[in-house]
A and B are shown apart, each in its own frame.
Chain A
């Protein structure tokens, strides 16, 4: 994390003034001390991710193989979350479902953040016609109901996993764009940026070395909140039948199946419901905790 920038010592100085330099580890320890939600929900996320990624090793049953003599069972020692209409173990299916839903959620956020941040930096830094063009585009996109846009695009391009992730990502980039642009507009006027420019820093260097790092805090918070939103949105899409098609069930599709049989076996909604709930809650709580810690205005505020 050391910013050894010989070309612009002033800028380095300015940066250090804004954010005390720490190693990643120190920073994490700092976060954990500042807010108990941080370690707790990081832990929950870590457990969810680990269980999902290790699903083939730890799932007690094959998630796709029907056992029609053991259908719609309530939770038991053999089947912790019961079995579904075809007699498949819900616990195993939830584990495998995480392998679809969680990476998809993160990819969506990564796409949205990358596109939004890059466009936001460009628009904020250069302003003028470029800003106007991208800004109007984003306004138009926000004016359009996003779920409707998603349904239209997915129907047009087909519900393949990659397509759905890209489409959902692109539909969600305006939030990042606006946030980044606003930050950049503010930061580019700071003296350290002018100083760096006076020292001959190139435009890309100014943008990505000086302006962007100093605009990051709100983006980190936004990303964490959005990851929860993305998981929820993907589950929604799946519930509406627009899910990315894969061999394994995702949580949204499982929830839809469970709802079909809700009157016969109410326990079925528990597995996928809890999985989505915990994931979204964790992301939101992390985002909230980060905001409280990082945002100078929130410093010292009671949670």
Chain B
């Protein structure tokens, strides 16, 4: 049953990856969904009024050409009902569009839904945008929206099923109006409709092709239509001529003729390919910290990065000694020098974590360092926990991940200074480490989470009672109340206070030692226009163009 919940977890657009951001290299790509890939942010100049001509005209946009993007792994699914991996998310975001889309401020804005009404806090009425066509020529309408949502609601094994928990009914009111009723007030609902659950598929294509074939050749309303996937080789999509949005030159988007994703699993090969000009763009975890200095020197390449939607650190099992003891957990926190970790392991390219909510959601984060590095305080906490001379524990990491191993060895050396002995254990990530975590068999694990744009995903799913990722296990009645309140409250300021309070309580209990937040970055040929970091980067490539 646990395994099943794991899958569901993916849907909530939160998933696990090997914490150390060794994840950066492999694990993230293979097993995680970053929030942004689920939810597509607003794109480019047309953010404020999708479809309308942008206010600020760009000079001399050059149309045509194929954008080549490096992928670190094979995508697993193209059907939004099943897709929950990072490589798949990049393709799905170009073929499909959601009812909502994030703008630059990470606020979900109506997208395929033109207007949204809330007669009460359980009812959502969506007016569907007229004149939008699927790649197979059929029209977007209320039936298609109902079809797409019901398909996900009925597929209990699908990657997005968990997102449908609050939905009681989806009703077609008229050909262009859909009403969705919920069982409880749920503020993060629009966030969920930016991707996954919100992606609208062509009912005609699903019926004509059958479920299995549809997953191989998806049909949506996005700017690019699917062409071909060759395993271990490439994914190709081509410009969709009937796309509804216009570009800065007042002609239909997209600017590009097509996109080709090349699957290059070895990070050094990706680096060489972008330096040689074979690849136009590498994103996110596919670029290693150790490669940045080399890329910075390359005059044909531009790059940018900022804090992303993930955290990494030490996951503790709180149901058995030593970490059933709060003071000992706090001692561990004070004994870990996060600045040193960032400098030594990540070449300075990370932000210090002070809780689960990542830096892009600054509005919901308490601005406080709860556990500054302090050996004296760590020793005091050890004494308070009844272990003045320190204690020993097991720390599990994913085998074969060089960076995670070095991270663990650094933790080990730091903890030794206050008398805590960390025994590093290595095992296969999915076969050994995850099952041990789920069964609460050992003491601590190098494991982080990546997730979505709503703070509820960061707090509720992980630290709430019955949460999908609550394997500590952690339970605090006050936190549970706050999570419930956060879901019922629509006002952003009130929600901000709720989540700040919840995080403060969680930090006091410290079931998890938050060390760093992940980084979102791109490396891009200078001739390519439109490379972004942040949620925007995952919104698809409709407004990218090549000089």
Which residues of A are interface residues toward B (Cβ below 8 A)?
64-66, 68, 71, 84-87, 155, 159, 240-242, 245, 253, 256-257, 259-264
Contact = CB atoms under 8 A, between A and B. Distances in A.
B346 to A, nearest CB: 11
B470 interface: no
Contact of A71 (B268, B344, B402): B344
Interface in B334-349: 340, 343-345, 347
**For chain B, which range describes its interface: under 10, 10 to 19, 20 to 34, or 35 or more residues?**
20 to 34
Given A68-B340, A85-B344, A159-B426, A260 B402 contact: yes
Given A260-B402, A261-B290, A263-B291, A245 B410 contact: no
Contacts of B293: 263-264
Given A68-B340, A241-B400, A242-B400, A86 B410 contact: yes
B21 to A, nearest CB: 12
B399 A257 contact: no
Nearest to A87: B344
B362 interface: no
A256 B25 CA distance: 13
Contacts of A256: 400, 402
B406 interface: yes
A125 to B, nearest CB: 43
Given A66-B344, A263-B290, A159 B399 contact: yes
B426 A263 contact: no
B349 to A, nearest CB: 13
B282 to A, nearest CB: 14
16 contacts: A85-B344, A85-B345, A159-B399, A240-B400, A241-B400, A242-B399, A245-B425, A253-B402, A256-B400, A259-B268, A260-B403, A262-B268, A262-B290, A263-B290, A263-B294, A264-B290
B104 interface: no
Given A257-B406, A263-B294, A264-B293, A68 B344 contact: yes
Interface of B: 268, 271, 288, 290-291, 293-294, 340, 343-345, 347, 399-403, 405-406, 409-410, 413, 425-426, 428, 431
A66 B294 contact: no
Contacts of B288: 260
Nearest to A238: B400
A66 B409 contact: yes
Given A263-B293, A264-B290, A86 B431 contact: no
A57 B291 CA distance: 37
B409 A64 contact: yes
Contacts of A159: 399, 426
Contacts of B410: 66, 68, 86
A202 B480 CA distance: 81
A66 B402 contact: no
Contacts of B347: 264
Contacts of A257: 402, 405-406
Contacts of B291: 263
A66 B426 contact: no
B400 A155 contact: no
A217 B127 CA distance: 87
Contact of A241 (B344, B399, B406, B409): B399
Nearest to A264: B290
Given A85-B345, A241-B400, A245-B426, A260 B413 contact: no
A66 B402 CA distance: 15
B406 A86 contact: yes
Contacts of A264: 290, 293, 347
A219 B415 CA distance: 50
A146 to B, nearest CB: 19
Given A159-B426, A256-B400, A257-B405, 18 more contacts: A65-B413, A66-B409, A84-B406, A85-B406, A86-B409, A86-B410, A159-B399, A241-B400, A241-B401, A245-B425, A245-B426, A256-B402, A260-B402, A261-B290, A263-B291, A263-B293, A263-B294, A264-B293
